[in-house]
Structure 1
């Protein structure tokens, strides 16, 4: 009798555990599968239609890790789209539109999104015969102050570097500028200098610069309440444009790509990413705490849209900034509502990302014209008061300001004045004013940034040319 009773107890316990596992699995699938299929469809589509890569190579290099390996997909060249699902569930579709890149569909009908009209300016023809940076012609020799052997070794090391897991990091491009000139440039096999690369969160720095253009024109004020319609008459009306730029809005927003949360739901389950973020409640008082949030950058992007107006918005980033500094390859992808995804989805060639870095190295001035406010770069690379580590400015990361304590800097072997735009997977634009050096690294997985910066800087004199 006792044995039979124990068997019943064990059976009941196992039944409860099985039920809990089924419930937990169902909840996980309901929350995670749409994010997995959305990520897969969107990134496969952009890699196929913007980078013109082979789908099998994209799957192998970019999307083979768990949990994305659970997804299946179809590339439809007839309507320029990619559809993906997880075991037949949570089907997602991303569509390509010329000049706009790829957009992930959620609740809005595909017909409504395809019917949107964007007035985009044509990029001027690239002046290959003009010297860099106004054109593409690069000098045959490099300055004698540069140690060519050390620089080559640093670039070779970056191209062959492995990730923290010991796997190939797939560095696709590595570019080095010294005193404004290209002195080192390498691309992985099969990658050309004309192929655009995804910037991921480097896009935030582009968005910050576009805000700067509007501040210079007197159309926005940094310390005025951010013009967000949902916040009018609420406690969130205390959030300023500066709070958004410095990532100190106080909004309840979790930035963790390892699980379903606000950032993944925003990027892969939302048609209007700025509205999604604007609806989040306050977690603490604006300006009181630094918390890095892609949602803040998408609110900034929609502020740009509302400020310049619907008729001019689509063309504004290109006419006001990109084409004026020769970033003719640059492209911003919109969400389904038509707002550029200012947090994550920019594409450009490594040379064009380097041009953007050069704009900031030149204090916002390009070819004799001041495009950003005179004090914009200085303000952008000053740490926000809510950041205790002093490593974030206005949509740019900072190395820290400890001249005599390199161990407290993010990159101990790089100068304290280094500032950088950083993207998922180790995309990076690094500007080192004191050494007149700019580095661009594009790839699929992060590598040891401190090491490659140390090795690059070893090739240059410490006191400029």
Structure 2
């Protein structure tokens, strides 16, 4: 019996050690996810701690995290087992997960206060403002459209988790609906829709002659190996060849980058070359953050870089609400962290629907949308340059093939369908299999005759 007890004790010890070895590298991800998303949810999106913890943070180990909110400093401290994460707040640039850099360094960077458009949007006609006329464009079956929008709010599988929906047809808003506790004032997290905003900012720099997407990316650490052949074009089409793991369910590259790294671009750029650049499609949030850093490098002045999205994009198209968050090193987290209202996401969709032209001003290069929707090598015609495509109809068989879209984790979408003059925005919190995106878009498209 004594020997049996010893064996059992040893087995329990090994199980405990195994559990510790498994959970330890996940702890910064668990607490970092909670701290970052809760702080931005409260202090940017104007949501409550209770709402965030009941929905966005109510899964896996995240639901067991203890969060302390400091309303005075606009920060959150999150604790689970033996690990703690905390955030710092910079006005105009959001909540920053504190990793690798002291708070004093994070807060001391030359963040300019860039004025948002001063006019009251309620007095300015759509799309530059929020004065929306009631006239409905011809050729729309409004009863069918409203049914399709209502269905998205059923909150049961296969239409679970919708926060808000907006439909713009022929440039005119024709449907807009919010779940309880959300409104026109709510800022929604983009997740990977932010990648498409990096596409726009890169396009503006190309138009200004400050960025050559086909030249070597010019990362210093790539000069002496085959990575020197990687271009910004390769990075934007997700075929740089850099090793990457985008699995959100474990201690993957994307989770480590977002929750453990202060300099996300440097982490991503440190990855070895796995494939020849341009040959293999592999979706990588790291690639977008490298491009964000390369734009910072091309601009050459941090204050100008920080002001760039607001001055050259957001203010140009009436996106008054938008906040692009930075990492602890001061680079915009182009892979994941942009907040904006539903209407502002619709405005961004309209910019691309109109070939980069905004009310007569060509903001993007004239061929930029065509470039952005050219299929990347190896993507099965499903991806362009930081935009998803429907050319093969794989995920959206019942939707026009010319649709392209911004997609974000857990169900954030801007759908752009030129053949229908249509922009659809949907935000929410829906895990895989909980929301029928093909059926949702198809239902709206079928209402447009």
What TM-score results when the alignment is normalised by the length of structure 1?
0.92
1:440-451 to 2 correspondences below 5 Å:
440-446=425-431, 447-451=435-439
Q: Secondary structure at the match of 1:159?
A: coil
Which digits, 9 at most, give the CA deviation of each residue in 1:252-271, with x for residues without a partner? 11101100111101000000
C-alpha contact (below 8 Å) 1:163/1:445 kept by paired residues: no
Q: Name the CA distance, whole Å, in 2 between partners of 1:304 and 1:454.
A: 37
User: What is the match of residue 410 of structure 1?
Assistant: 395
Equivalent pairs, count: 444
C-alpha contact (below 8 Å) 1:409/1:416 kept by paired residues: no
User: What is the match of residue 128 of structure 1?
Assistant: 122
Change (3 A) 1:296 1:398: same
Aligned to 1:398, which of 389, 392, 397? 389
Which digits, 9 at most, give the CA deviation of each residue in 1:199-224, with x for residues without a partner? 10000000011111111112111211
User: What is the match of residue 269 of structure 1?
Assistant: 260
1:249-268 to 2 correspondences below 5 Å:
249-268=240-259
**1:120 offset after TM fit, Å?**
3.3
Q: Secondary structure at the match of 2:352?
A: helix
Change (3 A) 1:281 1:163: farther
Structure 2 unaligned blocks of 5 or more: none
1:135-284 to 2 correspondences below 5 Å:
135-163=129-157, 169-284=160-275
Aligned to 1:116, which of 90, 109, 114? 109
Change (3 A) 1:311 1:56: closer
1:292 aligns with 2:283: yes
C-alpha contact (below 8 Å) 1:120/1:314 kept by paired residues: no
**1:11 offset after TM fit, Å?**
5.3
Q: Name the CA distance, whole Å, in 1 between partners of 2:254 and 2:133.
A: 43
**1:16 offset after TM fit, Å?**
4.8
C-alpha contact (below 8 Å) 2:161/2:430 kept by paired residues: yes
Which digits, 9 at most, give the CA deviation of each residue in 1:180-214, with x for residues without a partner? 11011111112111211111000000001111111
**1:163 offset after TM fit, Å?**
4.3
Aligned to 1:56, which of 50, 53, 59? 50
Q: Secondary structure at the match of 1:201?
A: helix
Which digits, 9 at most, give the CA deviation of each residue in 1:34-78, with x for residues without a partner? 110000000110011112222122111211212101211100122
C-alpha contact (below 8 Å) 1:277/1:296 kept by paired residues: yes
1:342 aligns with 2:330: no
**1:330 offset after TM fit, Å?**
0.9
1:95 aligns with 2:88: yes
1:456 aligns with 2:441: no
- Across the aligned residues of Structure 1 and Structure 2, the Cα RMSD in angstroms comes to 1.6
Q: Name the CA distance, whole Å, in 1 between partners of 2:30 and 2:281.
A: 29
C-alpha contact (below 8 Å) 1:400/1:410 kept by paired residues: no
C-alpha contact (below 8 Å) 2:46/2:187 kept by paired residues: no
Which digits, 9 at most, give the CA deviation of each residue in 1:116-166, with x for residues without a partner? 2301311012432222112211111312311110011011001224346xx
Q: Secondary structure at the match of 1:298?
A: helix
Which digits, 9 at most, give the CA deviation of each residue in 1:376-419, with x for residues without a partner? 101111111232x2100000001124xxxxxx532011011110
**1:369 offset after TM fit, Å?**
1.1
C-alpha contact (below 8 Å) 2:227/2:273 kept by paired residues: yes
1:333 aligns with 2:325: yes
Aligned to 2:308, which of 292, 303, 316? 316
User: What is the match of residue 431 of structure 1?
Assistant: 416
Q: Name the CA distance, whole Å, in 1 between partners of 2:381 and 2:13.
A: 48
User: What is the match of residue 405 of structure 1?
Assistant: none
Q: Which has the larger radius of gyration?
A: 1
**1:230 offset after TM fit, Å?**
1.9
1:66 aligns with 2:60: yes
User: What is the match of residue 420 of structure 1?
Assistant: 405
Structure 1 unaligned blocks of 5 or more: 402-407
Q: Secondary structure at the match of 1:208?
A: helix
C-alpha contact (below 8 Å) 1:380/1:395 kept by paired residues: yes
